[in-house]
Amino acid sequence: MKDIVDKIHDDIKSMRVRGALDIAIAASKTLKKVATSDAKNTPQLLQKLKRAGKKLKSARPTAISLPNAVNYILYIADKNCHLELNEFRRKLLESIDRFIDEQKSALDRIAEIGSNLIEDNDLILTHCNSDTVDMLIKRAWDDGKEIEVVCTETRPRYQGHLTAKELSNHGIPTSLIVDSAAHLMMKELKIDKVIVGADTIYASGDMINKIGTSQIAICARELDIDFIVASESIKFSPQSLLGSRVEMEERDPSEVIKSGKLPGVRVLNPAFDITNADYIDIFVTEFGVIPPEAVYHLLREKFGWELEI
């Protein structure tokens, strides 16, 4: 049987498990399993956890939520490595459970805060598939807001179809457009708000999300449409305070062209792009609504531990 760490690594890499928050939670649950596995003593278990963490972090490079979750759990493990094995395990499992619960509460809090930003008759455009955005929009609908949503398909993997299905199953009037119709539809349908999720947010307020997000943000600015990012703080990059940048994932050409090639043509498949802070109006986080300029302060306040390592 395949080792659980290898299995989850492969699930994340192949995007069977996807979405920035979901991959962080999947990695946390995997480390929880490793924490309950056989070991002779604390140093041995700590070694196992570090090996597993390294493997999990290598599954996909761009969403900072993945290393943030793993690094946090390893930080707690390191801090408690003086404890004897059973006590070490107990402490660690408790911390992982608390961490996972905090992520779920963050999602809920963002939905609550975000719903208050939505007005009756708002026409919202979203790109790709973000659980955070889905939750926010569904909460607004449940709170009685009469809204409609336009989803972009999000080639090449069509995650926009997932969003459209989810929101329409919830009873929300939903339309689907091809990615290249975004500008025209934003203008003709008179979109009120664009709301997207995030994979990584830098201290500068620049934000990484699914490929195509940045051009939608530029269109939103041209048309004077609010551009809102809904994101848990787990997607903020503490290392960006020190100038560090994540690797931008480039996926297999076979996701774009079934055969993987067009004779004589190089097929490129970048999975993410960076939206400049200048094009972002606000971030909705579990700590409240903040402008891009406030990301720096939030990072210093909430992720000080990360910079101590």
Cβ proximity to ligand RI2, 159 vs 233, nearer residue: 159
Does residue 253 belong to the site contacting ligand RI2 (CB under 6 A)? no
The answer to whether residues 145 and 118 touch, using CB atoms and an 8 Å cutoff, is yes
Closest listed residue to residue 29, CA positions, set 120, 114, 93? 93
Q: Which residues pair with 290 in a beta bridge?
A: 283
Does residue 197 belong to the site contacting ligand RI2 (CB under 6 A)? yes
Taking residues 262 to 281 in sequence order and writing x for each that binds ligand RI2 by CB under 6 A, - otherwise, the string is ---------x----------
Closest approach of ligand RI2 to the CB of residue 212, in Å: 10
Cβ proximity to ligand RI2, 22 vs 226, nearer residue: 22
Q: Which helix (H) or strand (E) holds 213?
A: helix 213-222
The single residue among 8, 9, 18, 70 that binds ligand RI2, judged by CB under 6 A, is 18
* 202 vs 277: CA distance, rounded Å: 9
Q: Which listed residue (128, 131, 151, 206) is catalytic?
A: 128
Taking residues 141 to 160 in sequence order and writing x for each that binds ligand RI2 by CB under 6 A, - otherwise, the string is ------------------x-
Does residue 20 belong to the site contacting ligand RI2 (CB under 6 A)? yes
**Residue 225 Cα distances to 183, 189, 194, 266, angstroms:** 11, 12, 7, 35
For tokens 């619960």, the residue is 101
* Segment near ligand RI2 (CB under 6 A); pick from 13-21, 114-122, 137-145, 177-185: 13-21
Closest listed residue to residue 18, CA positions, set 57, 51, 60, 47? 60
Does residue 201 belong to the site contacting ligand RI2 (CB under 6 A)? no
The answer to whether residues 205 and 292 touch, using CB atoms and an 8 Å cutoff, is yes
The answer to whether residues 172 and 141 touch, using CB atoms and an 8 Å cutoff, is yes
Query: Is residue 128 annotated as part of the catalytic site, yes or no?
Result: yes
Closest approach of ligand RI2 to the CB of residue 249, in Å: 8
* 251 vs 186: CA distance, rounded Å: 29
**Binding-site ranges for ligand RI2 (CB under 6 A):** 18-22, 128, 130-132, 159, 196-199, 209-210, 271
Which residues are known to be catalytic? 128, 199
